[in-house]
A and B are shown apart, each in its own frame.
Chain A
Amino acid sequence: NAGVTQTPKFQVLKTGQSMTLQCAQDMNHEYMSWYRQDPGMGLRLIHYSVGAGITDQGEVPNGYNVSRSTTEDFPLRLLSAAPSQTSVYFCAARGGFSGANVLTFGAGSRLTVL
């Protein structure tokens, strides 16, 4: 039981390049989400999904796209990377604690945009 798996762990991009951060979970949780973590800012919600085909914006959605075609996967797309998107990205699924409303996080993807 791997929980939440994120790939890649590290990525360096040039300004304007595009990429997709992958997130997969094997816990059969309906809810998945993406956060970015920046020094002094804490974790901020980018997008979330309450089930396949349903996504919604969080606190900082600009510059990011998501889709949810399966329960297991929730990829985060950067269409045209900017230096302001340099951050550590965490994917999280809700559940895993007797059904309580808590998040289980992946190990993170560290992105640098030059």
Chain B
Amino acid sequence: QKEVEQDPGPLSVPEGAIVSLNCTYSNSAFQYFMWYRQYSRKGPELLMYTYSSGNKEDGRFTAQVDKSSKYISLFIRDSQPSDSATYLCAMSETGNQFYFGTGTSLTVIP
């Protein structure tokens, strides 16, 4: 069983839609949770960071962590064509070893 599971998609939505991206994990000791955005042929860039459980909002992006269900989500409101990218979830127990999902490919259609 993989440490982190993520639906690879691809996901295609119209501009302005709300996008929901999700990951599940097996290690209950994970306490650092991140979402990265990766454009084609570029390095991943940090989008959201959450420590332990709860919600975090930054502009159009909201990250949620439900440790009881071992489930994390990223919501994108009012999606834009510039949001078209691959979204990677990542998590870590101690900050030394990070485990990534396989990524979800998102296309926002104008």
A74 part of interface (Cβ distance < 8 Å): no
Q: Is the CB of A97 within 8 A of B46?
A: yes
- Of the candidates A45, A90, A97, A102, the one whose C-beta lies within 8 Å of that of B97 is A45
A102 surroundings in chain B (CB, below 8 A): 32, 34, 46, 49
The contact size tier of chain B is: 20 to 34
Question: Which among B10-18, B37-45, B60-68, B69-77 touches the partner chain?
Answer: B37-45
B101 surroundings in chain A (CB, below 8 A): 42
A45 surroundings in chain B (CB, below 8 A): 97-98
Q: Is the CB of B90 within 8 A of A100?
A: no
Query: Which residue of chain A is the closest to B46 with respect to CB atoms?
Result: A102
Instruction: Identify which of residues 77-98 in chain A touch chain B, using a CB-to-CB cut-off of 8 Å.
Output: 90, 94, 96-97
- Given the known inter-chain contacts A97-B49, A105-B45, A107-B43, please indicate yes or no for A48 contacting B97, CB distance below 8 A: yes
Query: Which residue of chain A is the closest to B2 with respect to CB atoms?
Result: A42
Q: Is the CB of A101 within 8 A of B46?
A: no
A22 part of interface (Cβ distance < 8 Å): no
B44 surroundings in chain A (CB, below 8 A): 43, 90, 103, 105
- Given the known inter-chain contacts A43-B88, A102-B46, please indicate yes or no for A31 contacting B96, CB distance below 8 A: yes
A44-70, CB under 8 A of B: which get 1 and which 0?
A: 110010100000101100000000000
Q: Is the CB of A94 within 8 A of B102?
A: no
Give 15 A-B contacts (CB < 8 Å), ordered by A residue: A4-B43, A31-B95, A31-B96, A40-B8, A40-B102, A42-B4, A50-B96, A56-B96, A58-B97, A90-B43, A90-B44, A97-B49, A100-B32, A102-B34, A108-B43
By a beta-carbon cutoff of 8 Å, the part of chain B in contact with chain A is 4, 6, 8, 32, 34, 36, 41-46, 49, 51, 88, 90, 92, 95-98, 100-103
A-B CB proximity, top 6 nearest: A101-B95, A105-B43, A42-B102, A43-B100, A101-B32, A42-B100
